[in-house]
Chain A
Amino acid sequence: MIDDIRVGALIAYSNVKRGNKKTLMFIVFVLSLIFMNLVFLPSMIGGVSGLMTGFMQDYPYGDVVIEPTGDNIYINNADNVLKKVRAVEGVRAATKRLDVGASIGHKQKVVGVTITGLLPTEEYDISRYPHVITEGDFLSDLSRNEIIIGAMIAGTGFGSEIYDNLGEVRPGSFVDVTYSNGVKRTYKVKGIMTGTFEVVDLNALVHYKEIEDVYGLEGKEATSVVVRVDKQGTEAQIQDKIREAGVNEEIFTWADKSESLLRQAMQSIGAIDTMSTIVSLIVGAALVLIIIYINVLNRKKEIGILKAVGITPNSIVLSYAFLSMFYVSMGILAGLVLYFTLMIYFQANPVSFYETMEIAPEIDPVLLIQSILTMLIISVIAGILPAWSVSRESILKAIWGR
């Protein structure tokens, strides 16, 4: 077997060293495109997924979110929960929020929204709300009778034509809010927020105290407690620690919440990704097989000669496996260069999606390793099959075609 490997390697080496360089470059180019096809779309989908889940962390859920148990509307001891949570090692910041349903009217237009009552100064450590104010200013601790409105409902952002909106509401405009309990308030618009994400841009923000007043709450209730951790990736551990600290409400990581919310969307995208990967693999395998098969057919006489002088069929088959692995390895290397070049370009110039979202592809090392291994396995099979078939032919047929 060792002799077979040595001789197979010598045949493959001389083939590469003195074979047609243009053909080699063409084969490597085609294989690099096959590799690109395998890794590029999943990277873009990874980018979409990362963007969506990033939104979930940056706005509604933080890293860990605590919500009321069962049918309860509120966490009744929110301050106590906050105290326990803030004492947990690894928690960077935490805040409470009150989400309620309401309708906002301006002139003749009325739009249904979710209004989030929040503590403005605490939000600087929790979310990106304070940083996505594109017109006007964010709320302050003294903000009363003031509201921040998402760009889509304000009628100033992308999506306004899809969703009902208030028609060009600007900072300084007055809007009438009717809460789900029937209480009506008039607010001055303090700012417009543009998060390029529906959950943000179809939302409105007021001070936490406003919701307390409207709903007659006593300063202890919250619909959620949003937590940020010191170190990304420790969410599950923090979730356990919070539970151990005696918090008996529902505790979710951002991934739990995102998964349920984005599951359907990502499943659909994932199905496309899977189909694309399977098609890429089949096309890739077929192309590698065709390339090697044509190569083998062109060298059929050579294979016959090698057999005639006593080279074993195993050596011949191995030589084509090595050759095929070399082609594919070069294709992978060229593909990686192409891939990283495109990644660098698209990360610097993200693809605009839905006009407001910018998708930068995500480099997934696991995906890359999987794709490399898949290509190499295909290359071995694609190299062995045709060479095995030709090496089993009679010497006379291989050399002289009869």
Chain B
Amino acid sequence: MITVKDLKRYYGTGDMAVKALKGVSFEIKKGEFVAIMGASGSGKTTLLRILALLDDATGGEYTIRGLDVSSLPEAERSYYRLTQVGYVFQDYALINEMSAAENVYILSMMEGKSKKESYRTALEALAKVGLEGKHDRIPDELSGGEKQRVAIARAIAKKPDIMFADEPCANLDTVNSKQVLDVFKELNEKYAQTIVMVTHEPWHTEYVDRVITFQDGRLLSDEKMTKAGSEHHEE
């Protein structure tokens, strides 16, 4: 599904360059729920932004479903972000002047669907994340957990191949965090949604199939999670 080969991301040039990613390689299969972990500055968010086509790599290759997305022109990247990739931001990134439904159905409208169809899709997506009856509320009228679930609904409404989530529970308490992770888990198990989630919290790994750990811009470990524990694969 996702193939990353020797991916590098440097900020600046020469000796002053900050090397956020120093050449990482891995693969993620369809339907996997993967957690990317590591200390702050280890390169996990940088990786996620590159894979979601929000940023460019300095070197290396990455393909999604065999397509070398790194070389796509901006217009196609924009279309790819719209149709193939869902992204859940740490701080929800909702449009404050739009209702929950509008925040979700704007993407369907962008895809060319009618307003009626877009609205129906949005209601379905909101229902999937447990927000029935709250479609008319604006972000300020929702709790942190609800906002994040709207953000997830926005990401899943277009039924993307892959969903990226950048510390989706960073601003949430444990109860709300569990609600969000339950939604992810359900999407993964029920709809075979591929999910790549950056997180700091060790307890989040209970929900995932695999944990990739970064350290100083390099891949430190890649563990498959089982109910009994984890299978450890050192890089």
State which of A310, A395, A396, A399 has its C-beta within 8 Å of the C-beta of B110. Answer: A310
| Distance of A18 Cα from B93 Cα, bound (Å) | 17
Shortest A326–chain B CB gap in Å is 13
User: CB distance A3 to B93 under 8 Å?
Assistant: no
Contact pattern, B 154-178, Cβ under 8 Å of A = 1, otherwise 0? 1000000000000000000000000
Q: How many residues does chain B have at the interface if contact means C-beta atoms less than 8 Å apart?
A: 31
**Binary flags per residue of A290-328, CB closer than 8 Å to B gives 1, else 0:** 000000000000100111111111010000000000000
Task: Report A-chain residues with C-beta under 8 Å of the C-beta of B93.
Answer: 305, 308-309, 399
**Neighbour of B54 across the interface among A7, A18, A306, A396, CB < 8 A:** A396
B97 CB, min distance to chain A CBs, angstroms? 4
In the assembled complex, which residues on chain B have CB atoms less than 8 Å from the CB atom of A11? 95, 98, 106
Q: Residue A15 contacts which of B52, B79, B97, B112 (CB distance < 8 angstroms)?
A: B97
A98 CB to closest chain B CB (Å) equals: 77
B87 touches A (CB below 8 Å)? yes
Beta-carbon contact of B154 and A309 below 8 Å: yes
| B109 → chain A closest CB, angstroms | 5
- The residue on A at minimum CB distance from B155 is A309
Closest chain-B Cβ to A167's Cβ sits at a distance in Å of: 76
Whole-angstrom distance between the alpha carbons of A306 and B109 in the complex?
Answer: 13
Is B192 on the interface with A (CB-CB < 8 A)? no
The reply to whether A315 and B110 contact each other, CB–CB distance below 8 Å, is: yes
Does A17 count as interface, using CB distance less than 8 angstroms? Answer: yes
- A304–chain B nearest beta-carbon distance, Å: 9
Q: How many residues of A contact B (CB 8 A)?
A: 25
Interface centre among B52, B93, B99, B112 (most CB of A within 10 A): B93
Given A10-B109, A396-B49, also A306-B78 (CB < 8 A) = no
Query: Would you call B102 and A312 a contact (CB within 8 A)?
Result: no
**Given the complex, which residues of B lie within 8 Å of A315, measured CB to CB?**
110
A302 to B111, CA, bound (A): 19
Cβ-based interface call for B3 (8 A): no
A14 within 8 A of B: yes
Kindly state whether residue A185 has any CB partner on chain B within 8 Å: no
Min CB distance, B63 to chain A, in Å? 20
**B92 to chain A: closest residue by CB:** A305
A19 at the interface (CB under 8 A from B): yes
Check if A306 sits within 8 Å of B112, measured CB to CB. Answer: no
For window 86-138 of A, CB contacts with B under 8 Å fall at none
Find A17's partner among B89, B97, B106 (CB 8 Å cutoff).
B97
Q: How far is the CA of A19 from the CA of B98 in the complex (A)?
A: 10
Q: For residue A305, which residues in chain B have a CB less than 8 angstroms away from its CB?
A: 89, 93-95
Q: Is A6 interfacial (CB-CB < 8 Å)?
A: yes
Closest-CB distance, A396 to chain B (whole angstroms): 6
Whether the Cβ atoms of B106 and A307 lie closer than 8 Å is no
The docked-state distance in angstroms from the alpha carbon of A306 to that of B93 is 9
B163 to nearest A CB, angstroms?
Answer: 12
Do A310 and B78 touch (CB < 8 A)? yes
Within 8 A of A (CB), among B70-109: 75, 78-83, 85, 87, 89, 93-99, 102, 106-107, 109
Q: Pick the contact of A312: B78, B83, B97 (CB < 8 A).
A: B78
Question: Which residues of chain A in 169-195 are interfacial with respect to chain B, using CB atoms and an 8 Å cutoff?
Answer: none
Closest to A315 in B: B110
* Residues of chain B contacted by A17 (CB below 8 angstroms): 97
Instruction: Across the interface, name the chain B residue whose C-beta is closest to A301.
Output: B93
User: Residues of B contacting A308 with CB < 8 Å?
Assistant: 52, 54, 81, 87, 89, 93
The smallest C-beta distance from A198 to any residue of chain B, in angstroms, reads: 62
Chain A residues, Cβ within 8 Å of B85: 310
Q: Report yes or no: A7 in contact with B83, Cβ–Cβ below 8 A.
A: no
The CA-CA distance from A305 to B95 in the complex, in Å, is 8
Report B112-129 residues with CB < 8 Å from chain A CB: 112, 115
Closest chain A residue, CB of each to CB of B111? A3
Query: How many angstroms between the C-alpha atoms of A399 and B49 in the bound complex?
Result: 12
> Does B55 have its Cβ within 8 Å of any Cβ on chain A?
yes
Q: Nearest chain-B residue to A305 (Cβ)? A: B93
Q: Which residue of A lies closest to B113 (CB)?
A: A3
Cβ contacts under 8 Å, B94 to chain A:
305
Alpha-carbon distance between A308 and B154 when the two chains are bound, in angstroms: 12
Confirm or deny: B4 has a beta carbon within 8 angstroms of a beta carbon on chain A: no
Q: Does B225 contact A (CB under 8 A)?
A: no
A302–B83 Cα gap in the complex (Å)? 20
Q: What A residues does B111 contact at CB under 8 A?
A: 3
B83 near A310 (CB under 8 angstroms)?
yes
A309 to B115, CA, bound (A): 18
Report the Cα distance A7→B109, complex, angstroms. Answer: 7
Given contacts A3-B112, A14-B102, A396-B49, contact A309 B82 (CB under 8 A): yes
A311–B82 touching, CB < 8 Å: yes
Report how far A45 CA is from B98 CA in the complex, Å: 47
Give the Cβ gap from B151 to chain A, nearest Cβ, in Å.
9
Give the nearest-CB partner of A396 in chain B.
B55
Interface residues of A in 1-59 (CB under 8 A from B): 3, 6-7, 10-11, 14-15, 17-19
A6-B109, A6-B115, A14-B95 given; 17 more Cβ-contact pairs under 8 Å: A3-B109, A3-B110, A3-B111, A14-B98, A18-B96, A302-B95, A305-B93, A305-B94, A308-B81, A308-B87, A308-B89, A310-B82, A311-B82, A312-B110, A313-B78, A395-B55, A396-B54
20 contacting pairs across A/B (C-beta < 8 A): A3-B109, A6-B109, A7-B109, A14-B97, A14-B99, A18-B96, A19-B97, A308-B54, A309-B82, A309-B87, A309-B154, A310-B85, A310-B107, A311-B78, A311-B82, A311-B110, A315-B110, A396-B49, A396-B54, A396-B55
Q: What 8 pairs between A and B have smallest CB-CB spacing?
A: A310-B82, A310-B81, A18-B97, A305-B93, A14-B97, A14-B98, A395-B54, A7-B110
Which of B's residues lie within 8 Å of A, judged by CB?
Answer: 49, 52, 54-55, 75, 78-83, 85, 87, 89, 93-99, 102, 106-107, 109-112, 115, 138, 154
